[in-house]
Amino acid sequence: DAKTTQPNSMESNEEEPVHLPCNHSTISGTDYIHWYRQLPSQGPEYVIHGLTSNVNNRMASLAIAEDRKSSTLILHRATLRDAAVYYCILTTYNQGGKLIFGQGTELSVKP
**Interface ranges with other proteins (CB under 8 A):** 32, 34, 36, 42-46, 48-49, 93, 96-104
Q: Which residues contact 88 (CB under 8 A, 6 or more apart)?
A: 4, 6, 20, 22, 24, 33, 34, 35, 71, 73, 102, 104, 105
* Minimum CB distance to other proteins, residue 9 (Å): 14
User: Least distance from C-beta 60 to other proteins, angstroms?
Assistant: 12
Of the candidates 35, 80, 24, 91, the one whose C-alpha atom is nearest the C-alpha of residue 60 is 35
Nearer to other proteins, 24 or 36 (CB): 36
User: Smaller CB distance to other proteins: residue 15 or 45?
Assistant: 45
Shortest distance (Å) from residue 104 CB to other proteins: 7
